[in-house]
Amino acid sequence: MRRLVYLLSIILIAAVSAGCNTKPALVTVEIKVQLMSDSIPFEQAGVPVSLTDAGGAVTYDSVSDASGIASFKVTPGAYTASVTYKIVADGKRISFNGSNSNITVTDQTAGTFKLELRKVESQQLIIKELYCGGCQKDDGSGSYINDSYIIIYNNSEFEADASDLIIGNIMPYNAESNSNKYYTSAGLLYESEDWLPAGGAVWYFPSEIKIPAYSQIEIAVFSAIDHTATVKASVNLSNPSYYWMANTSIPAFTHAKHAVSDQIPVSHYLYGLQINQGTAWTLSTRSPALYIAKMDQAALKALNADTAAYDFTAGSNAIGWAMKLPKASVIGAIEVYLASSIETSHPRFPADINTGYLTMTNNHGYSLYRNVDKEATEALPENNGKLVYNYSLGTEDVGGSTDPSGIDAEASIAAGAHILFAQTNNSSKDYHQRKVASLKK
């Protein structure tokens, strides 16, 4: 009898101990995300919807039902819902994309959150590559940052007219800037407005320029010289086919007058119009927000001169001025966050221009390169046998990103292929960080 009592005691103690060591189950809450387009339900089944926590560590995936509703079971916290959905209609590639970063889930939450989608039709002219983070000097003494460039690509089978193309960035120049007066807890002040705060300067081509199908133009941002003569890890921007943002066209830019090779014809100089009264135009080497837009010279010059229509949110003095760039003129944008400052960074483009951001590690010679649209590129009959796979120039091994298509765009182009690049207006899906700038031969 005593032995039985003893055994029962051991069992009871073990049960109590096990109960004490059992962790409480995580609370999960079911929420729904209703897809919207033009403020009405986007009733399409099978649309992939992602829900990412505030730190970017956990992502939940779901698909919409016939009512355009995606359901999730998540733990309490702050989330961002995002969508990139592509179709082909009437010969055009069309994407629906959007995001909602104001999703807060508590253990009492049981509701539906709306996610407005923007319809985006494929554009001919795109930002194919942005190299702006600089590289290491030969002796390792620091970074070299005068070698930035931009590549504009004709992402179609037809010749493109780039004569009215303009290039610039919006304020603040760095995503992690603690002086970002445009971003509040409710989001961007101009989110629902028809303009963007263009800062520094805006650049344009003074003469007609055409870009053949599946071709590109290379634009030196600062010095259009052979930078490899100074720093071996840099790039050679002294090429007669290249273009140059000639900062000598703005007399007030006295802080740095950048050099230009005699290999660059004067006809390939871009001209600039100063917006706010700094002494140099700055393309961020940390976290830029670059745009391309279409506007004829007369309209651009009139807008630039009309300071009565400027915005002064960032400061009433001349340094804080921003030109109200019409949102409708923008045809492409890239939003970049510095890898070491993601937590303190904020978007500068509204969701109807760009959603998501690309992470960059600067000072290492990395570039920001557009992803290949795998399905569209493989569908081109002339590409049969010319596409090169097993792309290995992504930076996932250093905490960066890579092209999910697996297609090596530059190698494929060299083999005679025609590349169609992704166009979702979501920088995190359209671009990746490349280990070596494509102009580094």
* pLDDT score recorded for residue 4: 44
Residues 206 and 296 in one domain: yes
Residues 212 and 87 in one domain: no
What's the domain range around 52? 29-121
| Assigned domain for 104 exists | yes
* pLDDT score recorded for residue 86: 80
* pLDDT score recorded for residue 396: 95
Q: Tens digit of pLDDT for each residue in 48-65?
A: 999 998 877 889 999 999
**Please, how many CA atoms are within 13 Å of residue 184, restricted to the half-sphere of its CB?**
8
* pLDDT score recorded for residue 91: 55
| Assigned domain for 323 exists | yes
| Assigned domain for 231 exists | yes
| Assigned domain for 187 exists | no
Residues 161 and 259 in one domain: yes
Residues 61 and 80 in one domain: yes
* pLDDT score recorded for residue 263: 97
Question: Total domain count for the chain?
Answer: 2
Q: Tens digit of pLDDT for each residue in 243-275?
A: 999 988 888 888 777 899 999 999 999 999 999
Residues 133 and 117 in one domain: no
Residues 145 and 240 in one domain: yes
Residues 170 and 209 in one domain: yes
Low-confidence ranges of the chain (pLDDT < 50): 1-20
Residues 269 and 234 in one domain: yes
* pLDDT score recorded for residue 3: 47
**Please, how many CA atoms are within 13 Å of residue 47, restricted to the half-sphere of its CB?**
31
Closest C-alpha among 430, 357, 354, 397 to residue 98: 354
Q: CA–CA separation, 292 vs 125, rounded Å?
A: 9
| Assigned domain for 229 exists | yes
| Assigned domain for 58 exists | yes
| Assigned domain for 338 exists | no
* pLDDT score recorded for residue 318: 78
As a dihedral over the C-alpha atoms of residue 56, residue 60, residue 63, residue 64, rounded to 10 degrees, the angle is -80
Residue holding tokens 């003569």?
229
Last residue of one domain, picked from the residues 265, 297, 329: 329
| Assigned domain for 233 exists | yes
Residues 306 and 225 in one domain: yes
| Per-position DSSP letters for 242-305, written without gaps between them | -EEE-GGG-TT--S----B-TTS-GGGEEEEEE-S--SS----SSS-EEEEEE--HHHHHHHHH
Q: CA–CA separation, 244 vs 261, rounded Å?
A: 10
Residues 134 and 283 in one domain: yes
Residues 93 and 217 in one domain: no
Residues 89 and 132 in one domain: no
Last residue of one domain, picked from the residues 284, 312, 329: 329
- Residues 165, 230 contacting (CB under 8 angstroms): no
